Amino acid sequence: MIFRDKFFDKHHFCVLIYLLSLLLTH
């Protein structure tokens, strides 16, 4: 369970970075 939570946290963080980069490019 802990490993899965960490994985999802990492994925969520990557998504946030991706969205931020999109906003910056626009």
Structural domains in the chain (count): 1
Q: For residues 26 and 16, what is the distance between their CA atoms, to the nearest angstrom? A: 16
Q: For residues 9 and 20, what is the distance between their CA atoms, to the nearest angstrom? A: 16
pLDDT at position 20:
93
pLDDT digits (tens, 9 = 90+) for 1-26: 566 677 667 778 888 899 999 999 87
Q: pTM score > 0.95 for this model? A: no
pLDDT at position 2:
66
pLDDT at position 19:
92
Looking up tokens 């802990």, which residue turns up? 2
In terms of residue numbers, what domain contains 7? 1-26
Give percent of the chain with pLDDT exceeding 70.
Answer: 73
DSSP H stretches of helix in 1-26 = 2-25
Phi, psi of 2 (to 5 degrees): -60, -45
Q: For residues 26 and 13, what is the distance between their CA atoms, to the nearest angstrom? A: 20
